[in-house]
Structure 1
Amino acid sequence: MTSAAHTPLAGRATTGPEALVIDGRVDVDRAVLAPRGELVRGCADVLAVKLAELPSGVRRIELDMSGVEFMDTAGLAFLEHLGDHGVSHGIEVTAGNWSGQPRRILELVGLDTTDALRGPTPEPGPSTTSAVALERAERLRLLQEEVEQLRQAIASRPVIDQARGILMATQACTSDEAWTILREASQLSNTKLRVVAAAVTASTGTDGAPPPEEVRTALRRAIAHRGR
Structure 2
Amino acid sequence: MRTAESNPLIIEGHTDDTGRAVLAARGELVHGCAETLARALARLPAGTRRIEVDMSGVGFMDTAGRGFLDLLRDHGERHMIPVSAVNWRGQPRDFWELCKEVEQLRRAMATRPVIDQARGILMATHGCTSEEAWQILREASQLSNTKLRTIAATVTASAEHTATAPPEPVGRALRTAIARFHGGGGAARG
Q: CA RMSD in A?
A: 3.4
Q: Which residue of 1 aligns with 2:143?
A: 188
Letter in 1 for 2:148: L
The letter for the 2-side match of 1:195 is T
Distance 2:94 2:33 in 1: 22
Q: Which of 85, 88, 97 is 1:132 aligned to?
A: 88
> Residue deviations 1:1-30, cap 9 Å, x none?
xxxxxxxxxxxxxxxxxxxxxxxxxxxxxx
**Could you tell me how far 1:118 is from its partner in structure 2?**
9.7
- In structure 2, the residue matched to 1:167 is 122
Residue aligning to 1:20: none
The one-letter amino acid paired with 1:191 is T
Contact 2:139 2:177 in 1 (8 A): yes
Q: Shift of the alpha carbon at 1:183?
A: 0.8
- The residue number in structure 1 matching 2:29 is 110
Counterparts of 1:132 and 1:165, CA distance in 2: 49
Question: What is the aligned-residue identity percentage?
Answer: 53
Query: For residues 190-205 of structure 1, what are the structure 2 equivalents within 5 Å?
Result: 190-205=145-160
Q: Distance in 1 between matches of 2:99 and 2:33?
A: 24
TM-score, structure 2 normalization: 0.52
Rg larger in structure: 2
Letter in 1 for 2:174: L
Give 1:197 shift. Answer: 0.3
Shift of 1:173: 0.4
Are the structure 2 counterparts of residues 131 and 209 from structure 1 closer, same or farther at C-alpha, using a change threshold of 3 Å?
A: farther
Is residue 165 of structure 2 the alignment partner of residue 206 of structure 1? no
Pair 196,125 (structure 1): closer, same or farther in 2 beyond 3 Å = closer
Task: Check whether the contact 1:186–1:218 (CA below 8 A) recurs between aligned residues.
Answer: yes
- Report the secondary structure of 2:87's partner residue: helix
Q: Does 1:217 align with 2:175?
A: no
Check whether the contact 2:56–2:87 (CA below 8 A) recurs between aligned residues: no
Q: In the alignment, is the contact (CA less than 8 A) between 1:168 and 1:174 conserved in 2?
A: yes
Q: Where does structure 2 lack aligned partners over 5 or more consecutive residues? A: 8-27, 37-54, 59-84, 186-190
Q: Which whole-Å deviations, capped at 9, do the CAs of 1:168-208 have from their partners, x for residues lacking one?
A: 01111001100110011111111111111001101111111
2:132 is aligned to: 177
Q: Distance between the aligned counterparts of 2:86 and 2:173, measured in 1?
A: 50
Task: Work out the CA distance in 1 between the residues paired with 2:176 and 2:166.
Answer: 14
Taking a change above 3 Å as real, the CA distance of residues 196 and 124 of structure 1, as seen in their structure-2 partners, is same
Return the alpha-carbon distance in structure 2 between the equivalents of residues 124 and 165 of structure 1.
Answer: 53
Q: Look up the equivalent residue of 1:110 and give its one-letter code.
A: L
Asked if residue 142 in structure 1 is aligned to residue 97 in structure 2, the reply is yes
Aligned length in residues:
119
Counterpart in the other structure of 2:106: 151
Deviation (angstroms), 1:117: 8.3
Q: Which has the higher contact order (CA 8 A, sep 6+)?
A: 2
TM-score between the two structures when normalised by the length of structure 1: 0.44
CA distance in 1, matches of 2:114, 2:165: 16
2-structure distance, mates of 1:172, 1:125: 60
Aligned AA (1:222): A
Q: Which runs of 5+ in 1 are unaligned?
A: 1-64, 66-75, 84-93, 96-108
